[in-house]
Amino acid sequence: MDNKGFISIEYLFSIFVILIIAIPLLFLSQSAIESSFNMQDSVSHRLILDDVANSISQVNSNGEGFSKSITLPSNVGYYEITVENDKLTIEYGDRKGETFLLLSNIDSKYKLHSGHSYTISKIEDGKLVIK
């Protein structure tokens, strides 16, 4: 065998070793990137849920007749927030998150949708109404 053949076999062997090392690294990096996107999505929806809970708490802590308007963002995809007596639940895709409301007196169950505006009001009986 001459020198040219020896160099090409060595070159092919080194490429093969690099591929054996690179393929598992690509799978690991892909799963890490997907995990970070999932975490970012969860955090953005959690922040929306916390904002709604804070707005409800603000209205509840003020006197009768106080109201506050909120607009739910639509740039994170479609989601739905269910407001019940003592908890808020957000549902998006196949995921779900909850937070609890302390000492709130919500008169019924409400469903809030992404991209819509709502007004939270405290009426005469001390109950909270969402329109």
- Give the model's pLDDT for residue 68: 92
- Per-block average pLDDT, block size 10, for the chain (131 residues)? 64 89 88 78 84 88 88 88 87 86 81 91 84 88
pLDDT digits (tens, 9 = 90+) for 88-112: 889 888 888 888 888 777 878 889 9
Question: What is the phi/psi pair of residue 126, to 5°?
Answer: 85, 10
Domain ranges of the chain: 3-130
- Residues of the chain above pLDDT 70, percent: 95
- Give the model's pLDDT for residue 1: 47
What DSSP line would sit under 76-131, residue for residue? T---EEEE-SSEEEEEETTEEEEEE-SS--B-S-EEEETT-EEEEEE-TTS-EEE-
- Give the model's pLDDT for residue 21: 92
- Give the model's pLDDT for residue 4: 57
Sequence-distant (6+) residues with CB within 8 A of 55 are 68, 70, 120
Alpha helices by DSSP H, the chain: 3-61
What six digits make up the tokens of 71?
């607009």
What six digits make up the tokens of 93?
């895709």
- Give the model's pLDDT for residue 5: 56
> Which pTM does this prediction carry?
0.69
